[in-house]
């Protein structure tokens, strides 16, 4: 069949036309929205950062995403080989390989935080999370600085991820996303209502929504760009990989718009929940990676049925983290399996084990290894920075040149318009991908040299 990959085994495909949409949305919506977004907004000084982020999502993230999905569906191969199929005898595939490295690096530190979330879910389930006299700051910091427990949770989490990826796209990834994604909204809406009715909510809302542009600097611009890439999972090869399992009859352009909308909505809701509470309870918005883990339990403690909501909430965070971690592992596994001609059953556990091992160092950098600093960053911070703020924008730059100038907009158009699908705003997209995306990224990257 024409759906075969270079391993000559029939290539897997999503079971339904929603398979891709749910899985890609599952990848995009994750800790990046609930954990990372609030703390980088806090560090970036609030609303001006949020506006930059929104601008980058629309003008850079969405156009790249549409192109990336098209590469996968056209290539029908892993993140690297899909480039080779579109442009044989060229070196563009190296960008696909960079994507594999990015996924590897992100999963190494992402699994640490996902492990924390898993632990908090279990704590909430067993009613131990929000005891009234608990000091959330010190209990969280003693947990993450422990030399053993964070690694134990990280390993448990990675085992679950490996087991799901092992089962392949239809029975593993797609089935789980179908079950797990839909619970999200009701829960966030309830929390939103709670947070917005807190005393001093106004101050938090203003911090989040009323921009002060004088605070903007190169570091903040780069951070907002990095957050846009990270949150959308764009330029990682995820859309190539998931797109390669996509059926021709489902619409790339419409799916892209839907994913962006959902992802932004969840991030904004998370911000509107966290910041009113941050100001109400007197938490420092710029405190860093533990912001969400301290703020949410505080909200629950203050709430009717808080224990129950805490359970649901951390279940959702855990699930959101899981579906993203699945996609991170899948990109690397799809590559390893096709490159070394291994079966999924062999490739998934080996890849998972190596990533967990490397990720262990990220976990320890909150405790025993916290003294190790490179460019003034911990190991964890360094992994995050290199992946999100260096490699992602760089890879996005190469991606835009490949799509806009090598494959060319007309090639993408033909792929997208298969089976009668439409490509609304094609001309706008084409202008963005050829000019706006590469030029803006390039300027930001050059402007940031020196802030490493
Ligand atoms: N977008 C995910 C999140 O916001 O949590 C993280 C992520 C997943 C980044 C997959 C990159 C990726 F390829």
Contacts of 101 (CB under 8 A, 6+ apart): 391
Low-confidence ranges of the chain (pLDDT < 50): 1-8
Q: How far apart are CA 263 and CA 401, in angstroms?
A: 25
pLDDT at 4: 40
> Which residue's CA is minimally distant from atom 12 of ligand 1?
233
Residue 338 covered by a domain = yes
The CB of 441 under 6 Å from ligand 1? The reply is: no
pLDDT at 5: 43
pLDDT at 187: 80
Residue 98 covered by a domain = yes
Residue 71 covered by a domain = yes
pLDDT at 81: 93
pLDDT at 10: 67
Q: How far apart are CA 426 and CA 63, in angstroms?
A: 10
Residue closest to 72 by CA, chosen among 24, 8, 106? 24
The CB of 204 under 6 Å from ligand 1? The reply is: no
Record the pTM: 0.94
Residue range 353-387, pLDDT digits in tens? 999 999 999 999 999 999 999 999 999 999 999 99
Residue closest to 140 by CA, chosen among 275, 32, 298? 298
Nearest-atom index, ligand 1, CA of 37: 4
Nearest-atom index, ligand 1, CA of 327: 10
Report the 10 Å Cβ neighbour count for 278. Answer: 28
Span from the CA of 30 to the centroid of ligand 1 (angstroms): 7
* DSSP H/E element including 332: helix 306-339
User: 423 lies in which domain range?
Assistant: 19-448
At 284, which CATH number? 1.20.1740.10
Q: Is the dihedral angle over the CA atoms 301, 303, 308, 314 positive or is it negative?
A: negative
pLDDT at 225: 98
Residue closest to 273 by CA, chosen among 252, 249, 302, 246? 302
Residue 436 covered by a domain = yes
Q: How far apart are CA 207 and CA 447, in angstroms?
A: 26
Q: Are 45 and 220 in contact (CB under 8 A)?
A: yes
Residue 5 covered by a domain = no
> Which residue's CA is minimally distant from atom 13 of ligand 1?
233
Q: Please, what is the average pLDDT of the chain?
A: 91
Long-range contacts formed by 139-147: CB under 8 A, 24+ apart: 140/290, 140/293, 140/294, 141/290, 143/116, 143/119, 144/116, 144/290, 144/366, 144/367, 145/366, 145/367, 145/370, 146/367, 147/364, 147/367, 147/368
Residue 353 covered by a domain = yes
Residue 6 covered by a domain = no
Number of domains comprising the chain: 1
DSSP 183: G
Q: Are 23 and 262 in contact (CB under 8 A)?
A: no
Residue 2 covered by a domain = no
The CB of 104 under 6 Å from ligand 1? The reply is: no
Token output for 152: 């134990």
ipTM of the complex: 0.99
pLDDT at 293: 95
The CB of 106 under 6 Å from ligand 1? The reply is: yes
Partners of 374 in beta bridges: 377
Nearest-atom index, ligand 1, CA of 238: 13
Site to substitute for ligand 1 among 243, 317, 327, most atoms within 8 A of C-beta = 327
The CB of 236 under 6 Å from ligand 1? The reply is: yes
């Amino acid at each position: 069949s024409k759906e075969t990959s270079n391993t000559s085994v029939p290539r897997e495909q999503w079971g339904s036309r929603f398979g891709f949409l749910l899985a890609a949305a599952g990848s995009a919506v994750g800790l990046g929205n609930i954990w990372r977004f609030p703390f980088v907004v806090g560090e970036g000084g609030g609303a001006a950062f949020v506006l930059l982020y929104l601008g980058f999502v629309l003008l850079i993230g969405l156009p790249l995403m549409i192109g990336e999905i098209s590469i996968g569906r056209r290539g029908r191969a892993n993140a690297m080989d899909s480039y080779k199929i579109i442009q044989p005898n060229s070196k563009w595939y190296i960008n696909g390989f960079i994507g594999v490295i990015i996924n590897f690096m992100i999963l190494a530190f992402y699994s640490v935080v996902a492990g924390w979330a898993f632990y908090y879910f279990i704590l909430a389930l067993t009613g131990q999370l929000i005891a009234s006299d608990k000091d959330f700051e010190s209990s969280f910091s003693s947990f993450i600085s422990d030399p053993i427990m964070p690694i134990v949770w990280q390993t448990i989490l990675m085992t679950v991820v490996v087991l799901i990826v092992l089962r392949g796209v239809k029975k593993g990834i797609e089935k789980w996303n179908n079950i797990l994604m839909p619970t999200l909204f009701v829960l966030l809406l309830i929390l939103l209502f709670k947070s917005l009715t807190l005393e001093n909510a106004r101050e938090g809302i203003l911090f989040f929504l009323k921009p002060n542009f004088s605070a903007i600097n190169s570091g903040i611009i780069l951070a907002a760009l990095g957050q846009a890439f990270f949150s959308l999972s764009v330029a990682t090869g995820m859309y190539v990989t998931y797109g390669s399992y996509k059926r021709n009859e489902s619409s790339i352009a419409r799916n892209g718009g839907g994913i962006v909308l959902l992802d932004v909505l969840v991030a904004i809701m998370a911000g509107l929940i966290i910041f009113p509470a941050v100001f109400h309870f007197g938490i420092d918005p710029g405190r860093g990676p533990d912001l969400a883990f301290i703020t949410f339990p505080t909200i629950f403690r203050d709430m009717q049925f808080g224990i129950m909501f805490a359970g649901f909430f951390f279940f959702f965070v855990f699930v959101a983290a899981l579906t993203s971690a699945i996609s991170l592992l899948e990109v690397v596994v799809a590559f390893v399996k096709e490159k070394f001609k291994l079966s999924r059953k062999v490739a998934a556990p080996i890849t998972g084990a190596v990533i967990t091992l490397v990720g262990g160092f990220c976990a320890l950098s909150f405790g025993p290894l916290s003294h190790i600093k490179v460019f003034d960053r911990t190991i964890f911070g360094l992994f995050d920075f290199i992946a999100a703020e260096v490699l992602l924008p760089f890879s996005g730059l190469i991606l835009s040149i490949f799509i806009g100038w090598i494959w060319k907009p007309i090639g993408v158009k033909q792929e997208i318009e298969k089976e009668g699908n439409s490509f609304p705003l094609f001309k706008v997209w084409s202008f963005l991908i050829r000019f706006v995306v590469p030029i803006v990224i390039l300027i930001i990257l050059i402007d940031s040299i020196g802030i490493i």
